[in-house]
A and B are shown apart, each in its own frame.
Chain A
């Protein structure tokens, strides 16, 4: 793995104030959507962010582009301190940082024709050559017919709309694209096409991706490195194959145990680890390890009162758990929780 880091995030926090009051707004607490995240996004690679709904992964993706203003932390992109930039330099930097959205229809202005959608970035930042030529080129690259230019978003299918969204994102030859659940709104039959398109474009254009998703299969397929998020923070970060081969964090272990195995004999013996209770509110994150309230491996010491740091326990593998080594070696066993009526299986992909 090269050390060519394109974007580096340190201690990133996004806290949304909870306000109350009729005449005067009082801040009564904070929703800690993203609560201290460190990331290194390497050039030309794909970083996958996974986690349950509401774990803050989408907010993190948006905060990295300052579409949601972070509360604290630093973002360094290609040597530039992104958070220090004023409005205009930030606006100019945006041509190197692009985003693909989850809902392709909602992310396209219903009153804009495809041509207008694709020329908007060109007009905003300037682009050599005739815009019409570039539009035709972009449509071709994403696999849409040239006559799509004069049509409106509602005339296309979901997959075609996402192609338009992707064409818009690559219009200015960006360096980094953050794809927020790029396929989760699409039919399963279309998902593979969009995933393949993203991979082809990465190869052709030398793009770097951050792919946010809750579908473990999609993330595994596209990612080089995967970060697992729980309640606003990264609990495990590993090269993709290692993570699936041997998850280290109890939360990841539970996630992986929920994936059905396409072999009836093995599937029959698949041991599922069920998590007890609901996901705590990000307005009220448990002290100590944020996962200790649901952890099947919880220990009486440290877990409830000491925040585990994200530490590298093997080369390239980071985990935020006090007891990882013991859990992996089998010295600590999961508590039998299957009799608990509140037990829920997490994040089982469809």
Chain B
């Protein structure tokens, strides 16, 4: 024991670290891509949440007096920074209000996808056997269908409504999360700490739920950040194709793109503005997601 005391006397690092996530945040704060992503997301969230106060023109009803004849679309002015659309509505206000819609659809459909995927992945990875095989073949089938096409099919099947769109996008993302979590759990189940827990006599269910599952979640959370970006794009894509589900008076970036494409030649700002909004929102989540993945990956640790 005297020898033991010698080594133990070399005390461990002073800071009271909180594990993997704290270290990851330290690395994130040094990564410019992560900071740009975080700023974009913060801006997007801020605009979406305070849209009613931020939008310079609350009335979104068409103001046809501004339109001086067919085909006339007023460009940017001091009163209307981005100009007006073909019905005399302030474009900036519509982009701002559209942010809320995109965030709502993105987050809710992501939650549907993640919850569904986590339940399936947890059962497949935890139970194994024929259930695992069955779930994974189903997941393979779902992944074989192109995402947007699959979403259109489900949205069309469920009928009109915002919820239908959210469910459609959610279902498309279920297999991604299910497969990721299941694979991670299979790997973690073989880890020494899982065998150590078993050798202590910890019940199988507790080994899976208390040790294997929490240690398998990290990549799922990273994937969630990345999927939020694609969910926003998919929502816009569905809306572009006429499956927005929402009240037509509520601005939606994808639908704004669709409605303004016939004015592309005379008023390109009507297409560029919502397009850029979609790109920036998606970019923000992609940058942060990728940086998070890097920060949590042990191979990148220094």
A residues with a Cβ closer than 8 A to B are 62, 65, 67, 91-95, 97-99, 101-103, 106-111, 120-121, 124-125, 142-145, 148, 150-152, 154-157, 159-160, 163, 165, 168, 190, 192-193, 196-197, 200
C-alpha gap A190/B6 in the complex (Å): 11
**Are B200 and A98 in touch, CB under 8 angstroms?**
yes
12 A-B pairs besides A143-B7, A168-B196 with CB distance below 8 A are A67-B199, A91-B203, A98-B199, A110-B19, A111-B20, A120-B202, A125-B201, A148-B12, A151-B12, A155-B13, A196-B1, A197-B3
Q: Which residue of A lies closest to B23 (CB)?
A: A154
Q: How far is the CB of B150 from chain A (nearest CB, A)?
A: 26
Some 24 contacts from A to B, beta carbons below 8 A apart, are A67-B195, A99-B199, A101-B196, A106-B193, A107-B195, A108-B193, A110-B20, A124-B201, A124-B203, A125-B201, A148-B12, A151-B17, A154-B17, A154-B20, A155-B13, A156-B12, A159-B7, A160-B7, A160-B12, A163-B4, A168-B200, A190-B7, A192-B3, A193-B3
Q: Is B198 an interface residue (CB 8 A)?
A: yes
**Chain B residues, CB < 8 A from A103:** 192
**Are B196 and A108 in touch, CB under 8 angstroms?**
yes
State which residues 2-44 of B face A: CB under 8 Å.
3-8, 10-13, 16-20
Q: Is B134 an interface residue (CB 8 A)?
A: no
Known contacts being A99-B196, A106-B191, A107-B196, is A154 close to B19, with CB within 8 Å?
A: yes
**Chain A residues, CB < 8 A from B19:** 110-111, 152, 154
Known contacts being A99-B196, A106-B192, A197-B4, is A155 close to B12, with CB within 8 Å?
A: yes
Interface size band for B: 20 to 34
Q: Which residue of B lies closest to A144 (CB)?
A: B8
- Interface flags, B149-191, vs A, CB<8A=1, else 0: 0000000000000000000000000000000000000000001
**Are B1 and A197 in touch, CB under 8 angstroms?**
yes
Q: Is B55 an interface residue (CB 8 A)?
A: no
Partner among B1, B4, B193, B203 whose Cβ is within 8 Å of the Cβ of A107: B193
**Chain B residues, CB < 8 A from A168:** 196, 200
**Chain B residues, CB < 8 A from A159:** 7
Q: How far is the CB of B139 from chain A (nearest CB, A)?
A: 18
Q: How far is the CB of A254 from chain B (nearest CB, A)?
A: 32
Q: How far is the CB of A69 from chain B (nearest CB, A)?
A: 12
Most buried by B among A109, A142, A143, A155: A109
Most buried by A among B198, B201, B215: B201
**Chain B residues, CB < 8 A from A197:** 1, 3-4
- Interface flags, B197-215, vs A, CB<8A=1, else 0: 1111111000000010011
Most buried by A among B4, B5, B198: B4
Partner among B7, B18, B198 whose Cβ is within 8 Å of the Cβ of A193: B7
C-alpha gap A150/B17 in the complex (Å): 10
**Are A196 and B192 in touch, CB under 8 angstroms?**
no
**Are A94 and B4 in touch, CB under 8 angstroms?**
no
C-alpha gap A123/B26 in the complex (Å): 34
Partner among A95, A145, A148, A151 whose Cβ is within 8 Å of the Cβ of B201: A95
Q: Which residue of A lies closest to B198 (CB)?
A: A67
C-alpha gap A144/B7 in the complex (Å): 9
C-alpha gap A98/B191 in the complex (Å): 17
Known contacts being A109-B193, A151-B16, is A196 close to B3, with CB within 8 Å?
A: yes
C-alpha gap A148/B6 in the complex (Å): 15
**Are A142 and B199 in touch, CB under 8 angstroms?**
no
**Are A193 and B4 in touch, CB under 8 angstroms?**
yes
